[in-house]
Structure 1
Amino acid sequence: MAIPLVSGRCALIIQDMQNDVVMDGGAFASSGAPAHCREQNAISNIAALAAHCRGCGIPVIHVWFVVEPGAPGLTLNAPLFLGIVEENAVVRGTWGAEPVVGLEPMSGDHIITKMRMSAWQGTPLQTILMAEGRDTVIVTGAWTNMSIEHTARTGADMGYRMIVPEDCCATMNADWHNASINYALQNVARVTKSADLIDCFE
């Protein structure tokens, strides 16, 4: 990445890294998501990036998809949302809705819950970023071609500089991941690797 990043302007999002989403035994395990998460080494890569960010004073924001039992209020207008109901996924208070081991919130982190793909929709994300004085957002987590892409697109439209370290993201398989990383995200975010990103902070 050619452009240095100013730590005081950055925030890190860890999105949807929950047991039902990316772990064996989770509601969506049959999708291939756990295997691709392992292939990407996403949990370890995100953990290392988050540790570095905390050390630099960069806010870490956990964004989780959480519904109440029966998913009241979840608009069932898309297959993804229907799947949440059909699989009884990410229900508050269950193992499936909890963050994966290794990416639990630390003291000082922010926690946001949502009921849409984008981290912006119906959440206080922008309020937190404004309060912290941040205009550069690093997006990590799952799934690359869904929540990550939605969040990056919306953030770009809202005037934020969006950064996506691709080895900190995962989805159902490499084809879907690569389609998003190599095409969809190229015009809305700076795509990079976590190690390269860490070297960019000033």
Structure 2
Amino acid sequence: MGRRPALLILDLINELIHPDGKYAGDGYFQQATERNVLENAATAISRARAAGIPVIYVVVGFSPGYADLSDSSDLFEGVREDKRLELGTWATEVHSSLAPAEGEPVIAKRRVNPFLGTHLDLLLRNLDVNTLLLTGVTTDLVVLSTAREGHDRDYRVEVLEDVTATADDELQQAALKLIARTAKVTTVDEALPA
């Protein structure tokens, strides 16, 4: 069976990778900048579109009022009080340099795993996708979770490491090492040649 990929843009949202985002000071903006994530993501998106590869955006966020936010999550502690990650606001929009083209899906998730409680798997199956090309912030959370879940749902998974970042380099390297156990770690140029 041939390779039928989709490019997933995971949580490349203002709250995480814009200098004015509320998580910018947690290292995500700095690491994404140092790793040229926005520029590399733009290249990946452009090449995918040119090749007819579906581009699918996933954004993390919560409904106004935060009824869908788990009180048991240490990861999302303080989100409600700080009014972070509210869907429908600038915070959860895809960074403007990577804006979705007309018709490209944007899936909102309420947890780390983008398959949980969303129609992502249905969309991928309807597009006849068998290979996931993963990009995003954070490598140790959404990218790792998507790689493992994709593997267990019988997708081939390729992580474009030059379009990933997390809070610091130590976490980045540890996450990539874990990801390599269930996915191929690659680059934009390898996965989407010019």
TM-score range relative to shorter protein? over 0.9
Could you tell me which residue of structure 2 aligns to residue 165 of structure 1? 160
1:138 aligns with 2:138: no
In the TM superposition, residue 85 of structure 1 has moved relative to its aligned partner by 2.3
State the one-letter code of the partner of 1:119.
P
> Match for 2:151 among 147, 156, 164?
156
Distance 1:94 1:120 in 2: 22
State the one-letter code of the partner of 1:106.
A
Could you tell me which residue of structure 2 aligns to residue 60 of structure 1? 55
Aligned length: 193
1:30 aligns with 2:19: no
1:194 aligns with 2:176: no
Distance 2:188 2:82 in 1: 32
1:64-118: CA deviations, max 9, x gaps?
1121223112112222122422432111232211111211110231111010001
> Match for 2:115 among 112, 120, 132?
120
User: Does the aligned pair in 2 maintain the 1:11–1:136 contact within 8 Å?
Assistant: yes
> Partner of 2:66: helix, strand, or coil?
coil
1:84 aligns with 2:85: no
1:177 aligns with 2:177: no
Could you tell me which residue of structure 2 aligns to residue 43 of structure 1? 38
Shift >3 Å, 4+ stretches: none
Distance 1:69 1:108 in 2: 25
State the one-letter code of the partner of 2:178.
A
User: Does the aligned pair in 2 maintain the 1:17–1:99 contact within 8 Å?
Assistant: yes
1:15 aligns with 2:10: yes
Distance 2:156 2:188 in 1: 17
Gaps of 5+ in 2: none
1:70 aligns with 2:70: no
State the one-letter code of the partner of 1:185.
I
User: Does the aligned pair in 2 maintain the 1:70–1:88 contact within 8 Å?
Assistant: no
For the aligned residue pairs, the C-alpha RMSD in angstroms reads 1.4
State the one-letter code of the partner of 2:182.
V
Distance 2:79 2:133 in 1: 26
TM-score for the superposition, normalised by structure 2: 0.94
Q: CA separation of 1:83/1:139 partners in 2, compared to 1, >3 Å: closer, same or farther?
A: farther
